[in-house]
Amino acid sequence: MAVRQEHDDLIQLLDEQREMFRITLRGISEEQARQRTTASELTLGGLLHHLVGCERLWTKVLVDRDENAEQKLEDFAGQYSIGDSETVAGLLAEWEIVAANTAELIRSVDDLDASIPTPTNPWVPGRVWWSARFLILHILREIAHHSGHADIIREQLDGANTTAQRAG
């Protein structure tokens, strides 16, 4: 029973972190979603676009377990940009579907210690193997990491603060 509790805990942590990111986006316009507020190229919409794709990628890695998977630098082009035809509402709806699929996948993992091959990529030499648990926690880390970026961008945009918005 403890293993199932761990699955539920992972799902809950992911849900809570996604909610923090959604709070950061609360009340922004499409124009604001595309606005740079720091020296970085990052925008709120671009970060949202990245997180949807990132979660989709890592759940695919967990399912496929492909020992020959590769990622090239060009695979990441546009990763942090919101497309002209994309909207915040559309990306959030897409993320809800991805999140539901992630939760179902986590529930289906029998062995969180199972070794999963990760795709080779330009910044890590050679193939790396992660436990299923570590891979799921990596998704959480990505969301948390970019939630911090989003909070700074939002504060620069209009002074809104995620923690204050969450309380209010």
Contact of 25 with 151, CB cutoff 8 Å: no
Q: Is 165 exposed, middle or buried (0-12, 13-18, 19+ CB in 10 A)?
A: middle
pTM over 0.85: yes
CATH of the domain at 99: 1.20.120.450
Range of the domain at 54: 2-167
User: d(Cα 64, Cα 103) in Å, to the nearest integer?
Assistant: 17
The closest alpha carbon to 61, from 154, 127, 149, belongs to: 127
User: d(Cα 54, Cα 40) in Å, to the nearest integer?
Assistant: 19
At 166, the pLDDT band (50, 70, 90 cuts) reads confident
Residue 154 one-letter amino acid: R
Q: Look at residue 2 in the predicted model and tell me its pLDDT.
A: 60
Q: Where are the alpha helices (H) located in the chain, listed in sequence order?
A: 2-25, 30-33, 44-64, 88-108, 132-158, 162-167
* Mean pLDDT of the chain, nearest integer: 94
Radius of gyration of the chain (CA): 17
- Dihedral over Cα of 17, 103, 76, 158: its sign: negative
pLDDT at 1 over 60: no
Encode pLDDT of 26-84 as tens digits.
999 999 999 999 999 999 999 999 999 999 999 999 999 999 999 988 888 899 999 99
User: d(Cα 103, Cα 109) in Å, to the nearest integer?
Assistant: 10
Overall number of domains in the chain: 1
User: d(Cα 55, Cα 68) in Å, to the nearest integer?
Assistant: 20
Q: Look at residue 3 in the predicted model and tell me its pLDDT.
A: 60
Please enumerate in sequence order all residues whose Cβ is within 8 A of that of 13, keeping only pairs 6 or more positions apart, or say none: 140
Position of tokens 């289906």? 108
